[in-house]
Amino acid sequence: MISGQLALITAALFSGAAIYVSAVEHPARMTLDPAAMLTEWKPSYRRGFAMQGSLALIGFLLGTWAYLEAQNWLWLAGALTLLAGWPYTLLVILPTNNKLLATPIAAANAETVALIAKWAALHAVRTGLGVAATLLFLAASLSP
């Protein structure tokens, strides 16, 4: 079933990108001074949002398609788990993002560092959703 295989690949791409941000990019960012940290975070956030938002939506659509084909609830559970990142981002992460985006680079300070650290903790939840969706899609693809 091609829809399921594509859903699994999409969720794995989402998860891989999120894990990279959490395990590699963010720790490296935290070694910078506040102005450099914010300078790096702003374009990274914009690009990451576009990529991960698209992957979440595509994975949701593919997972739903796989569910309609196979009638296996695991496909739908994975699709909804991946999509859950959208409302979580809009309701929980966006206020922090907006504060960071509104901060001029020259005004970056210890509060900026704290906000970026908070953002990373919030982003870890989105990473967890991606991993959970990937595992649900994997389980669905292995079930009879």
| 107 has a pLDDT exceeding 90 | yes
Res 144: pLDDT: 81
CB–CB of 37/116 below 8 Å? yes
Q: What DSSP assignment string belongs to 12-74?
A: HHHHHHHHHIIIIIHHHHTTS-HHHHHHHHHHHHHHHHHHHHHHHHHHHHHHHHHHHHH--HH
The pLDDT mean for the chain works out to: 96
Question: Left, alpha or beta for 71 (phi > 0: left; psi -120 to 50: alpha)?
Answer: left
CB–CB of 141/5 below 8 Å? yes
pLDDT classification of 67: cutoffs 50, 70, 90: very high
Q: What percent of the chain has pLDDT over 90?
A: 98
Q: How far apart are CA 6 and CA 134, in angstroms?
A: 11
Res 135: pLDDT: 98
Res 35: pLDDT: 97
Q: How far apart are CA 128 and CA 143, in angstroms?
A: 22
Res 1: pLDDT: 86
Res 88: pLDDT: 96
| 124 has a pLDDT exceeding 90 | yes
* Residue-wise pLDDT tens digits, 13-63: 999 999 999 999 999 999 999 999 999 999 999 999 899 999 999 999 999
* Section 105-116 average pLDDT: 97
pTM: 0.93
Q: Is the dihedral of CA 79, 82, 83, 84 positive or negative?
A: positive
* Section 56-73 average pLDDT: 97
Name residue, tokens 């993002």.
97
